[in-house]
Amino acid sequence: MINEDLQHLLLNYCEPESDLLQQIDRETNLKVLMPRMLSGHYQGRVLSMLSKMISPKKILEIGTFTGYATLCLAEGLSPEGTLYTLDINQELEDMVRKSFAQSPYNDQINYILGDASQSLGQLNEVFDLVFIDADKKNNGTYYDLVFDKIRPGGLIIVDNVLWSGKVLSNQQDKDTKNIITFNDKIAKDTRVEKLILPVRDGLFIIRKK
């Protein structure tokens, strides 16, 4: 969404990645299909900062991928906090568990494989922070499923809501239409305060009233 020179400047003015996050980034780009799905350095620092600002006791992530964003969100966990991360891709399990095991947050992370809509029904928790970054067609479904599990004042963060700028296109494919439908749904939801940050591919920041 921004040019490469400005991206490099932004990176110069934010906190550096840890060695582990650099390792996850490198390994994802070398070994995993569609490595662009990784949150990356700048967005990772945004997620970390938001998490640290509310010091959550309970975090829910829908869409683990290779665990980069998971560990960024975990940086803000309170000492007794827990992070649940849900994903359906069993092929990445060994890589993800290895990365988690190298982090200081391993004992605070519950990595759950399976269909997220089913896994959510088994979680009887109240969350301070939810990050939705999975199959985009189900953003609205996940939002509805987690809404009653979020405390008042809690945050829901949804990734890829600008969809590489395609939300402005006059010729919209099915995926783009799904993104726009979700964005419109949030815009009309009077139960929340909301704004989109033009970070990377767009982060919808949603605060439950």
Residue 193's DSSP bridge partners are 207
Backbone angles phi, psi at 8, to 5 degrees: -65, -40
- Distance in angstroms (rounded) separating the CA atoms of residues 192 and 156: 10
Other C-beta atoms closer than 10 Å to the C-beta of 102 total 13
- What's residue 1's pLDDT? 66
Q: Which CATH class is domain 4-208?
A: alpha beta
**pLDDT tens-place string over residues 90-129:** 999 999 999 999 999 999 999 999 999 999 999 999 999 9
Mean pLDDT to the nearest integer, 151-160:
98
- Distance in angstroms (rounded) separating the CA atoms of residues 106 and 85: 12
| Cα torsion through 169, 172, 175, 180, rounded to 10 | 60
**pLDDT tens-place string over residues 77-98:** 999 999 999 999 999 999 999 9
Q: Domain limits of the chain?
A: 4-208
Token pair recorded at residue 152: 């008042």
Token pair recorded at residue 102: 């190298």
Mean pLDDT of the chain: 96
